[in-house]
Amino acid sequence: MDTELFSPHGPDKRDEYGLTGRAVVFSVRNFTPLYNQETVVAAFARVRKVLPDAFLLMKNYGGEPAYVDRIQAQIRMLGLEDCCRIVETVPYDDMPALYRTADAVISIPMSDATPMSLLEAMSVGSIPVVSDLPSLREWVRTGETGYLVPACDVEAVATALLGALAPARCTESMRLAARQMVEARASQAAFMGMMARRYDGVARKNGGGGVHEHRSPLRKPTLELHAMTALAEKLLNKYYGGTPHPYRIFENRVAELVGPDTVLLDEGCGRTAPVLSKFLGRVARPIGIEVVDFVDVPEGIETHTADLATIPLSASTVDVGMSRSVFEHLVRPEAVYAELFRVLRPGGTVVFLTANMWDYATLIARVVPNTFHAGIVRRVEGRAEEDTFPTAYKTNTRKDVERLARASGFIVESFEYLNQYPNYLMFNGALFFLGTCYERLTSRIELLRFLRGWILVTLRKPAR
């Protein structure tokens, strides 16, 4: 990248935007569900309680209109209209000034390659707050060159933003380290030098004299080196920018079922209950169950450390149950289905999203011993190894779901196959392209829907 253009020294837009003296956060990614802007806004609302003069800049360049409307509605609901501005498409040459305006740059998608926006922000000296993903850990080290955060953890994101917005004397070393890392590893000069050394080595090995100048023939390999990570991001934005992730579809389905009087149970909610946290204030009683110890759960959520086969709740007390990426781990699904049926009120509903048995990623996972799953997931998705559990895949086909539902008394109200971008292949542009072709094929041909990556199931307990 051009570290001379994206330099800490130069004009900014603080005077133009009326931001002189204010702490500025810049959300640099587009307005699509992939980029998780609702968590950005929710975290910023918490930052404002500590730093009342903080300001949020967001950049929209052809985002999904319905999603833009949703984020704007969230901004109004949280009373942030006077401290948030959405700027439309910005010319590339103006981007350095926009980055210099920001004290912190935030980008928290659930999956990502190495975006140029991260390197540009680091190059100008804005502190990055980014998702804790393998592709980003080689650039961002918490407390050294920025902050890594769980993508959907509002409290963790807010805490990181507050750290990034600390007085300049406290963050100067972080800004300098970030700039130095980009200069050393991602600048045009660094890549040209590296390619020259490689070319020189090949030439000497084959009897040539080597090269000692940055000649123009070296430019093409340099661009190709960028393309391996850039290709995945380009395809991601082109084909999936406006496509809701199955996680979002799942959350929307649950949102349609709940109301102010709802008792909502999250079965396998995770250590910090990130999904359940989104329903705080929207339901009467949010309850989370998890087999591991809870950490930093927001106030107002009732938690129980227990197995789903022995839920510590009275019969007929829950209106809606939800579960995301948990059912593939069930060793005794018969007991879990029966227990969920017990705690649901008559007419109550369970919605769960889980891996499809016939998806290629699931088929590969089934032949790889569980011993290796945690390490693979850590490298590919960035999930902590202690948060990866053995898989069983005993309720991951339509046949199994219908059998288990029938045995426990449930009615299968809906069963849907969903697809998403090939997130396991983000590390390689060529593989990501092949995965995209496969996803497009299985999404468009209905006869191949059983090969899609996810199943979204709605079960209902009969009213009487």
- Determine the distance from the C-alpha atom of residue 87 to the mean position of all C-alpha atoms in its chain, rounded to a whole number: 23
Q: Which of 185, 212, 236 is the C-terminal boundary of a domain?
A: 185
138 within 8 A of 122, measured Cβ to Cβ? no
Specify whether 288 is located in the same domain as 400.
yes
Mapped onto helix, strand or coil, the DSSP state of residue 317 is: coil
Mapped onto helix, strand or coil, the DSSP state of residue 460 is: strand
**Is the residue at 236 inside a domain?**
no
**CATH number of the domain that 50 lies in?**
3.40.50.2000
pLDDT in tens, the chain (464 residues): 678 888 898 899 999 999 999 999 999 998 988 899 999 999 999 999 999 999 999 998 778 889 999 999 999 999 999 999 999 877 778 889 999 999 999 999 988 878 888 999 999 999 999 999 888 888 999 989 999 999 889 999 999 999 999 876 678 888 988 988 888 877 755 554 444 445 455 445 554 444 333 333 333 333 333 333 467 777 777 777 667 889 889 999 999 999 999 999 999 998 889 899 889 889 999 999 998 889 888 889 999 999 999 999 999 999 999 999 999 999 999 999 999 999 999 999 999 999 999 988 878 776 766 555 445 555 544 444 444 557 889 999 999 999 999 999 999 999 999 998 887 777 777 888 898 899 999 999 999 999 999 999 999 999 97
pLDDT of residue 62: 76
- Cβ count within 10 A of residue 328: 21
Specify whether 114 is located in the same domain as 53.
yes
In the chain, the number of structural domains is 3
Q: The domain containing residue 332 runs over which residues?
A: 246-460
Specify whether 58 is located in the same domain as 198.
no
Specify whether 194 is located in the same domain as 314.
no
**Is the residue at 239 inside a domain?**
no
This prediction has a pTM of 0.54
- Determine the distance from the C-alpha atom of residue 201 to the mean position of all C-alpha atoms in its chain, rounded to a whole number: 40
246 within 8 A of 454, measured Cβ to Cβ? yes
Specify whether 254 is located in the same domain as 387.
yes
Calculated CA dihedral for residues 81, 86, 87, 88, nearest 10 degrees: -130
Specify whether 315 is located in the same domain as 266.
yes
Specify whether 175 is located in the same domain as 199.
no
